[in-house]
Structure 1
Amino acid sequence: MIKKLLLLSVVALGCQTTSLKAQDFNQYFTENTLRINCIFGGNANEQHIFVDNMNSIPGWYGRKTRLGEFPVEGNAQFEMRDHKTGKVIYRNSLSTLFQEWQTYDEARTSNKSFENVILMPMPKDSAEVTIKLKNNRRETVASITETIAPKDVLISKKGSHPTPYDVIHKAADTSNCINIAFLAEGYTETEMEKYINDVKIATDAIFAHEPFLEYKDRFNVIAVKSVSEESGTSVPSKGIWKNTALGSNFDTFHSERYLTTLNLKKVHDWLAGTPYEHIIILVNTDVYGGGGILNYYNLSSTGHKSFKPVIVHEFGHSFAGLADEYAYDWEEIPMFPLDVEPWEANITTLADFKGKWESLIKKGTPIPTPETKDEKKAKNKVGYFEGAGYRTKGVYRGVQDCRMRTNACKEFCIVCKNALTKLIKFYTGE
C-alpha cells in the first residue's frame, strides 16, 4: 500500500443448501440496494457517526448467502436487524480514510469530517441498522443505530439511468459472483479508449495471480465510463486543480505522493445502477500514487511503470483487508499495538495467533524466523518473519516475501493465498 491505513463439490446437497440460503435472502430483502450516506467525524480522541441521507438503487450485487457473518472484521462494522424479531439479517465491514487520518498529528489538534457510503440489501420491512467504529485495539469507540422504513418517501431513488459501462469479464454465474467495477478518473471523452485498455491491463494483472486465476469465473468485471472535463488529477502542492469526475488529488493529509479522493458520494453516484460491490479507481497520471482500503476503494495511477504490481497489491487491501507486510527503520508507525492481535489475516503480534497460519509452520521453527538468501527456500518456508505492519519489531508475517511486502515479488504468499481463497468462497456461498 502506498500509504498506511488492510470445495465442496456442486452436488445435489450443496445446491440444496445454497437454495435454502437464497430463500432466506428473499424472506427479508428485495432485489434493490439501500445506500446509506454517512459522515464520520471527530479527532484523535473522539469519533462521531451521522447519517446524511439514504438512497434506493435498483439491483443488489452483493452476496446472498452467509448474510449474518462478517467477511472480515474491518475497522468499521455495520449490521441490520429485522425490526420485528431482532434477528441479524445482514453484516458487513470496511475501513475508512477517517480512521487513518486519526493517526496523524493533525487529528490531535483539530476536528474533521469524512464522507462514507454503506451498501446493504433493501429490507422488505422495517429494520434497525447499527454502524460501529473501532480503534486499533479492536474496541468500539462510536456507534449509532437508525431505523430504516423502506417506504419512507425521503429515501431518494438513484441509478435509473446508469453510467454507460463495458463488461470486461463476465462471471460464469452473474447471479452468484463477486462484482468489481472500475471507475475512470481524469480521463476525458477522447481518452475513454485508453481507459478501457488500462482496465484490461489491470484486470489481466489481477487474474495473473493465484488464487484469482483459479476462481476467475466467480468474478464479474465492468468498466464504468465516468468522463472527466479535464485530463489528469489535482496536485495542490503545485497549485494544480483539475475538474475531474471524482475530484481526486495528490497531497492527501499533506503527503506528497498520497493520491485519493474524499468524495465518496460522487464515487457511488457514478456507480449507481451498475453491477458493483468492490471498486477500483484508475487515475490518469504517470506519477506513482494511490492506496487500497477495505470495502472502500482501490485507487491507483495508471501511467507509472509499477502500475500492474501496485494495482494487485492494493486489491489485496481493498478486497480482503490484507495488511502491509513491510516496515522501515526510518518510519516506525505504532498502528498495531503489540499486546493486541490484528484482525488482518496475514500479520500477527502473537497475542492470539490461533486460527491464522500456525498449521503451516513446522514444529521447532524459531521466533523470529531467520531469513535466507536461497529464493526457493524463502518461497516455501513458513514461519514468524519479523517486520510487518509498519513495525520492524513485534509484528510478524508468515513468509519472507509476498506481493503484500514488495512490488518485486511476483505472487501472493501461501498465507495470503489462503486468506483470499477463503474470502472468495465466502462471497460465492461455498
Structure 2
Amino acid sequence: MLRHLVSLLALCACTCALAAQPATMRVDYYHTGNALEEHYAMDRVVIEPLPWPGNMSQTIDNTNRGNNLVEVTDPKTGKLLYSRGFSTVFAEWRSTEEATKANRGFQESVRFPKPEQPVRVRILKRDDRNQFSVVWTTDIDPNAMDVVRKQPPAPVKPIGIRVNGPSPDKVDLLIVGDGYTTKDMKKFEAAARRLADHLFQTSPFKEREKDFNVWALALPTGESGVSRPSTNTYHQSPLGARYDIFGSERYVLATDNRALRELAQYAPYEFIEILVNNETYGGGGIFGQFSTAAADNDWANYLFVHEFGHHFAGLADEYYTSPVAYATGGERREPWEPNATALHDPANLKWKKFVKEGTPLPTPWPKDAYETASRAYQKERAALRAANRPESEMSALFHKDLEHTDALFTPDPNRHVVGAFEGANYEATGYYRPEMQCIMFDRSDKFCSVCADAISTIIDLYSRPASKSGI
C-alpha cells in the first residue's frame, strides 16, 4: 500500500510540474500500401489527458535518425515548430514477400505539443539519396469541432518505478504490460522494476540514470500470456502483442496501435517498452514507436536492453547470421543507423572520432571461424524450435553460443578496437559494425563505444541538465 501511495504522490508531483506545459496532441492515421507504393489517410486528432511531457526548449530533432520524420510547421510562415525522427512497422512489412503480392494497412500515430493556432503536419521519408522528402501533408486546427477533447477516466493508474524529477526535464520511459491478468499485476510490477534496474546497470544508461523517469502500466486481461500462432497458441490481450510477426518466430510486436496509445496516454511518456507475460525468447523494437521483450525468459535482461536500443536510439542490429523477417540484399547504401556503415568512404567513417590512428579499415577479425560455428548453432536452434522443445534447452544453447563467441574473440588483438568489422545489418558482406562485440551484435552485456555515444545523444535530446532544470 505504501509503495502505491508513493507512486501516486510522484505522479501528482510530476503532473503539477507539467501544468505549465501545453497539452499533448496526437494524430492517428492509417499507413497503407505494398512493396511499390504507400498511402496515408487521417483517422482522428486527439488531445490527450496529460500535458506534453517533453522539454519545450528542445522541440527540433537534429539527430538525422529514422526512416521517417514528422514536422509540425506554421502554415503561414513555414516556421518549423516541432520535429522528430521515427520508423514504422509498415516500412519493415513492405520489405517482406507478402508486400509484393498484397496491400496492407497499419495504424500509426505522431504526438506533439498542442499549438494554439492551426498547423501543418508533414510526414517525410528517406529517399534514395538518404535525404528526407515529404510524402504526406495534413493541416490540423486544434480548435476544430472534430478534435477529440474528452477522454474516459484512466482504466488503471501508472506506477512510479523511478521518478527523478519533472517530466519536461527527464526522459520518460513507460513500461507497459500485455498478457497479465489481475492476479498477475504484482508479477508485472516486479518484472518492470527488475528490468528497469538492469537497464540502469548498463552504460551509458547507468551514468545517466537521474535523467530518466520510469513508469509502469498494465491493463488486466482475462488470461495470462500473448499469442504465439506458430504453436497454435492464441490469447486475447489488450494491445494485441504476439509472436511470429512477419513469419519470424522470435519477433514480437503489439499489433493494435490505437489500443496502445489509448492506454499509454494516462502516463507521462516519450518511449514505451512492452513486457509480454511469456517465457519464450522474443522481442522487437521500432525506432520512436515501441519495443517489446518476453519478461519471463532467462534472457529477459538482454532482450529488454537490446530491443530498447532499437526503439530509443535507432540502433541497427549488428548480427547477420540469424534469419530475419524481411528481405535483405541489393545495393549497399549507407545506413542512417549510427552503428552500421557501408564503408564507401573509409576516410570519413561516421564514427571516425572513436578510431585510433593506424587502425585498418576494414578491420580484421575471426570472421570465417565465427561463421562456421554460427551455421551449426543456427541449425541446432532451428531444430529446437521445430520440435517445440522446452525453453530451458534454447536458453542453454544461447549460453553455449555466447561462451564460444567469447572464447573465439578474447585472444584477438582487435577485441576492443573501434574500427569497421565486416558483417552487420543482417548482411555478411558490404556492411560493417564499429566493434567486434556489442549488445547489438550478440547476447553480450555491453554497448560498444559508438552505440553508447548514440544513446547519449538521444538522452541529451529529451532531458534537461540539472544545472538548467534547477534540480
CA RMSD of aligned residues (A): 2.4
Pairing 1:185–2:185 present? no
- Residue 6 of structure 1 corresponds to which residue in structure 2? none
Q: Which amino acid aligns with 1:82?
A: D
Q: Deviations over 1:311-330 (max 9, x none)?
A: 10001000000001111287
Pairing 1:80–2:72 present? yes
Instruction: Please list every run of 5 or more consecutive structure 1 residues that lacks an aligned counterpart in the other structure.
Output: 1-25
Counterparts of 2:337 and 2:181, CA distance in 1: 38
Partner SS state of residue 220, structure 2: coil
Which of 87, 91, 96 does residue 88 from structure 2 map onto?
96
Q: Which amino acid aligns with 1:344?
A: E
Deviates most, 383-392 or 124-133: 124-133
CA contact (8 A) 1:289 1:301 kept: yes
Partner SS state of residue 383, structure 1: coil
- Residue 39 of structure 1 corresponds to which residue in structure 2? 30
Instruction: Please list every run of 5 or more consecutive structure 2 residues that lacks an aligned counterpart in the other structure.
Output: 1-18, 367-408, 466-471
Which of 268, 282, 294 does residue 287 from structure 2 map onto?
294
Q: Which amino acid aligns with 1:385?
A: F
Q: Which amino acid aligns with 1:51?
A: M
Partner SS state of residue 302, structure 2: helix
- Residue 356 of structure 1 corresponds to which residue in structure 2? 350
- Residue 52 of structure 2 corresponds to which residue in structure 1? 60
CA contact (8 A) 2:157 2:266 kept: no
Q: Which amino acid aligns with 2:432?
A: Y
Q: Deviations over 1:222-267 (max 9, x none)?
A: 0113211221111233443212111222222233332222101100
CA contact (8 A) 2:277 2:295 kept: yes
Partner SS state of residue 420, structure 2: strand
- Residue 419 of structure 2 corresponds to which residue in structure 1? 383
Q: Percent sequence identity over matched residues?
A: 32
Which of 439, 458, 463 does residue 423 from structure 1 map onto?
458
TM-aligned CA distance change 1:72 to 1:226, over 3 Å: farther
Counterparts of 1:187 and 1:321, CA distance in 2: 28
Deviates most, 169-178 or 140-149: 140-149
TM-aligned CA distance change 1:116 to 1:352, over 3 Å: farther
Which of 433, 437, 440 does residue 401 from structure 1 map onto?
437
Pairing 1:167–2:203 present? no
Higher strand share: 1
TM-aligned CA distance change 1:334 to 1:234, over 3 Å: closer
Counterparts of 1:329 and 1:246, CA distance in 2: 27
- Residue 61 of structure 2 corresponds to which residue in structure 1? 69
TM-aligned CA distance change 1:355 to 1:159, over 3 Å: farther
Pairing 1:412–2:447 present? yes
- Residue 3 of structure 1 corresponds to which residue in structure 2? none
Deviates most, 80-89 or 181-190: 80-89
Q: Deviations over 1:132-189 (max 9, x none)?
A: 2336763557611111111112110255633311100012443311001111100001
Partner SS state of residue 369, structure 1: coil
Alpha-carbon distance, 1:102 to partner? 0.6
Alpha-carbon distance, 1:375 to partner? 5.5
Alpha-carbon distance, 1:429 to partner? 4.4
Alpha-carbon distance, 1:37 to partner? 0.5
TM-aligned CA distance change 1:88 to 1:371, over 3 Å: same
CA contact (8 A) 2:173 2:213 kept: yes
Counterparts of 2:29 and 2:326, CA distance in 1: 28
- Residue 194 of structure 2 corresponds to which residue in structure 1? 201
Counterparts of 2:463 and 2:412, CA distance in 1: 34
Alpha-carbon distance, 1:414 to partner? 0.7
Q: TM-score, normalised by structure 1?
A: 0.87
TM-aligned CA distance change 1:329 to 1:118, over 3 Å: closer
TM-aligned CA distance change 1:300 to 1:330, over 3 Å: closer
Deviates most, 190-199 or 148-157: 148-157
Counterparts of 1:229 and 1:352, CA distance in 2: 55
Deviates most, 78-87 or 346-355: 346-355
Q: Which amino acid aligns with 1:68?
A: I
CA contact (8 A) 2:273 2:292 kept: yes
Q: Figure out how many residues of one structure are paired with residues of the other and give that number.
A: 402
Higher helix share: 2
- Residue 131 of structure 1 corresponds to which residue in structure 2? 123
Q: TM-score, normalised by structure 2?
A: 0.80
Partner SS state of residue 183, structure 2: helix
Alpha-carbon distance, 1:300 to partner? 0.9
Q: Deviations over 1:406-427 (max 9, x none)?
A: 11x1110111111111221122
CA contact (8 A) 2:61 2:85 kept: no
Partner SS state of residue 250, structure 2: coil
CA contact (8 A) 1:158 1:272 kept: no
Partner SS state of residue 145, structure 2: coil
Counterparts of 1:337 and 1:359, CA distance in 2: 29
Partner SS state of residue 22, structure 2: strand
Pairing 1:51–2:42 present? yes
Alpha-carbon distance, 1:369 to partner? 0.7
Displaced runs of 4 or more, over 6 A: 329-334
